[in-house]
């Protein structure tokens, strides 16, 4: 029983802290405008999902009676089946590679600096492509398409749906961001 409670403890702690933060988010004061989401909407939504996931995982652990089960086996089967069907494309890397870890940290640090100069799209698309390559994926056309389309989707979601201001970049790079915003109908 003790091992079950220890496995559930992280979910209980994160869930309890999320409940506290949800109550704090409920006290955000703002002038409500009709037809718009308030600044409390997204934090409360994320916290509600976090609470639901923590509750689900806690119940799953408590009801499994010590049996270890999870999605990792399912995910592993999907990856293995995909590799068998599509052949090579994924380079297996060592699970714990200090060099890859250092490269990922350096890449992320560079991204934080570069995004202010190049803008969200021109910095994020190459960042995602290089990060995927660092992870060992070597299907370059799919990597490039995922990076570009994923970055455009994130840009649309954050700027058009969530109303988050993303870095435009400095001239002349800002012109690329502004052109993409016009193409996607973002003001």
116 assigned to some structural domain: yes
Same domain (yes/no): 46, 108? no
pLDDT at 161: 83
Q: Rounded to the nearest 10 degrees, how much is the dihedral formed by the CA atoms of 66, 71, 77, 79?
A: -140
Tokens of 138: 């070597």
Tokens of 25: 């988010």
Same domain (yes/no): 103, 180? yes
Same domain (yes/no): 107, 172? yes
Check whether the bond before 172 is cis (ω within 30° of 0).
yes
163 assigned to some structural domain: yes
16 assigned to some structural domain: yes
Neighbours of 36 (CB within 10 A): 9
* DSSP helix/strand/coil, 80: helix
136 assigned to some structural domain: yes
Same domain (yes/no): 65, 102? no
82 assigned to some structural domain: no
Residues of the chain with pLDDT under 70: 65-80, 82-96
pLDDT at 42: 81
Same domain (yes/no): 131, 53? no
Domain encompassing residue 144? 98-184
pLDDT at 78: 67
pLDDT at 65: 66
Domain count, the chain: 2
CA distance 62 to 52: 15
pLDDT at 90: 53
In this prediction the pTM is 0.57
CA distance 171 to 178: 11
């Amino acid at each position: 029983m003790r091992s079950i409670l220890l496995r559930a403890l992280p979910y209980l702690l994160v869930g309890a802290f999320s409940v506290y933060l949800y109550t704090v988010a409920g006290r955000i004061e703002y002038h409500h405008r009709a037809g718009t989401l308030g600044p409390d909407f997204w934090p409360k939504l994320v916290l509600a999902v976090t609470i639901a996931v923590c509750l689900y995982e806690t119940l799953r652990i408590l009801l499994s009676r010590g049996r270890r089960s999870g999605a990792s086996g399912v995910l592993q089967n999907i990856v293995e089946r995909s590799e068998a069907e599509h052949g090579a494309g994924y380079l297996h890397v060592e699970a714990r590679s200090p060099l890859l870890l250092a490269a990922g940290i350096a890449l992320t640090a560079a991204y934080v600096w570069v995004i202010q100069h190049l803008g969200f799209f021109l910095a994020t698309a190459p960042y995602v492509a290089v990060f995927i390559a660092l992870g060992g994926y070597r299907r370059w056309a799919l990597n490039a398409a995922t990076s570009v389309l994923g970055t455009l989707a994130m840009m649309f979601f954050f700027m058009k749906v969530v109303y988050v201001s993303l870095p435009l970049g400095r001239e002349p790079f800002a012109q690329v961001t502004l052109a993409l915003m016009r193409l996607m109908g973002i003001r």
